[in-house]
Amino acid sequence: MTATLHDVAKAAGVSPMTVSNVVNGHPNVRPATRDRVLEAISRLDYRVNVAARRLRQGRTGIIGLAVPEIDRPYFGHLAARVIQIAGEHGYRVAIEQTASSRDQELAAITLSQNLMYDGLILTTVALGDADADLLRVDYPIVALGERLFDSPIAHVMMPNVAAAQAAVAHLLERGCRRVGFIGGRSDQVDMLSQRFAGYRAALRAAGIDVDEELIVDAGALDMRAGAEAVTTLRDRNVPFDGLFCVTDTVAIGALHALHDTELRVPQDIKVIGFDDVPESEFTNPSLSTVDPDHEFIARRAVELLVTQISGTVRPKATEETSSFRIVPRRSTE
């Protein structure tokens, strides 16, 4: 027969409340009493039913993290940081993949509630202003990404325009004058449109006109797309001496394609990416990139969610933006 908390209390000669205090690590228990309770717990093989206890408290100790693709280096790196930081707060993380789909982003909200997660960190790609009412839920949510919402939701963002502008300026400072943009454009307020705005601002600040022939839509934003974008530029027969790629994943594909040509990096073409994923340090040549402060993004997202879960603050429209820094490596020497 399974021992109960009352069995432990009787064996140790203390009240059930004292046993509960010992189990939960409360400091106001005398050492001798704590030792007696711990001995009874060991002797009776008492097991704490953590799930039941958390359900009585109205919490499960689990938060959700919804990202577009877990197999992309940036989102894998982000997930690892969120898991570590959530653990510091006593939470475990369940990961959901949304494939950048509006329906699946909404489903992630519903699923996290149905599974009784304590809250959700949601990377928003497809949701936008038109979905603001759908985010007015009595449930802790923190949004990541560039989409803007007219609803009381905490939001952690990157400085995409300023960081992209700095990345292109880095290429210009190293002598580039024909800088290609690999990523494409968007009519939405999203990562693509903001990083393109930064690209355009850097060129204009240097007195250089935007050449439409140097802009390539990378489609899926994966390594293959980056490699194909280089082929597209070469097929257009337009000169270029620098490449700004909207993600490191795209840039790694571009480096691979350039390696198979007579163009040398960085002697002939200088390349910079965005995200500073761990793999960027180990390409050949190593990839210059933008570090968007992953630590801040993950930590603030978890902290904002935990404060909502604890009930210390009411959900409100909060926007926080990370810092950034240029990480120069061999691809732009």
Place of tokens 């960027």: 280
- pLDDT surpasses 90 at 75: yes
- Residue 164: phi and psi, rounded to 5, are -65, -40
Average pLDDT (9-33) is: 83
Per residue in 254-306, pLDDT (tens digit) is 999 999 998 999 999 999 999 999 999 999 999 999 999 999 999 999 999 99
Q: Residue 333 domain-assigned?
A: no
Q: Residue 329 domain-assigned?
A: no
Within this chain, do residues 189 and 221 fall inside the same structural domain, yes or no? yes
Q: Which residue has the higher pLDDT, 325 or 138?
A: 325
Within this chain, do residues 201 and 273 fall inside the same structural domain, yes or no? yes
Can you give the pLDDT at residue 237?
94
Within this chain, do residues 41 and 108 fall inside the same structural domain, yes or no? no
How many CB atoms neighbour CB 272 within 10 A? Answer: 30
Q: Rounded to an integer, what distance in angstroms lies between the CA atom of residue 276 and that of residue 280?
A: 6
Q: Is residue 301 a contact partner of residue 156, using CB atoms and an 8 Å limit? A: yes
Can you give the pLDDT at residue 312?
64
- pLDDT surpasses 90 at 131: no
Q: Residue 303 domain-assigned?
A: yes
Q: Would you place residue 34 in the very low, low, confident or very high pLDDT band (cuts 50, 70, 90)?
A: confident
Q: Residue 53 domain-assigned?
A: no
Can you give the pLDDT at residue 250?
97
Place of tokens 């969610």: 305
Per residue in 101-115, pLDDT (tens digit) is 888 888 888 888 878
Q: Residue 330 domain-assigned?
A: no
Spatial CB neighbours of 155, under 8 Å, sequence gap ≥ 6: 142, 143, 144, 148, 149, 317, 318, 319, 320
Per residue in 199-233, pLDDT (tens digit) is 999 999 999 999 999 999 988 899 999 999 999 99
Domain count, the chain: 3
- pLDDT surpasses 60 at 55: no
- pLDDT surpasses 70 at 51: no
Within this chain, do residues 193 and 109 fall inside the same structural domain, yes or no? no
Spatial CB neighbours of 80, under 8 Å, sequence gap ≥ 6: none
Cis peptide before 73 (omega within 30 of 0): no
Give the percent of the chain with pLDDT over 90.
Answer: 60
Q: Is residue 188 a contact partner of residue 130, using CB atoms and an 8 Å limit? A: no
How many residues are there in the chain?
A: 333
- pLDDT surpasses 60 at 96: yes
Can you give the pLDDT at residue 54?
55
Within this chain, do residues 125 and 210 fall inside the same structural domain, yes or no? no
Q: Rounded to an integer, what distance in angstroms lies between the CA atom of residue 259 and that of residue 253?
A: 10
Q: Residue 55 domain-assigned?
A: no
Q: What is the CATH number of the domain that holds 30?
A: 1.10.260.40
Average pLDDT (130-139) is: 73
Q: Which residue has the higher pLDDT, 148 or 113?
A: 113
pTM of the model: 0.81
Alpha helices in the chain (DSSP H): 5-12, 16-23, 31-44, 50-57, 73-88, 102-114, 160-173, 191-205, 223-235, 248-259, 294-310
Within this chain, do residues 286 and 269 fall inside the same structural domain, yes or no? yes
**Burial label, 91 (beta-carbon count in 10 A; 0-12, 13-18, 19+):** buried
Q: Is residue 274 a contact partner of residue 147, using CB atoms and an 8 Å limit? A: no
Q: Is residue 281 a contact partner of residue 298, using CB atoms and an 8 Å limit? A: no
Within this chain, do residues 85 and 234 fall inside the same structural domain, yes or no? no
Q: Residue 11 domain-assigned?
A: yes
- pLDDT surpasses 90 at 57: no
Can you give the pLDDT at residue 50?
53
Q: Residue 328 domain-assigned?
A: no
Within this chain, do residues 36 and 71 fall inside the same structural domain, yes or no? no
Q: Provide the residue range defining the domain that includes 283.
A: 160-291
Give the percent of the chain with pLDDT over 70.
Answer: 89
Contacts 24+ apart (CB under 8 A), 134-141: 134/106, 134/109, 135/109, 137/109, 137/113, 139/109, 139/112, 139/113, 140/305, 140/308, 140/309, 140/315, 141/109, 141/305, 141/308, 141/315
Q: What is the CATH number of the domain that holds 147?
A: 3.40.50.2300
Lowest mean pLDDT among 37-41, 127-131, 205-209: 127-131
Spatial CB neighbours of 186, under 8 Å, sequence gap ≥ 6: 192, 193, 196
Within this chain, do residues 93 and 191 fall inside the same structural domain, yes or no? no
Calculate the average pLDDT of the chain.
89
Q: Rounded to an integer, what distance in angstroms lies between the CA atom of residue 20 and that of residue 9?
A: 9
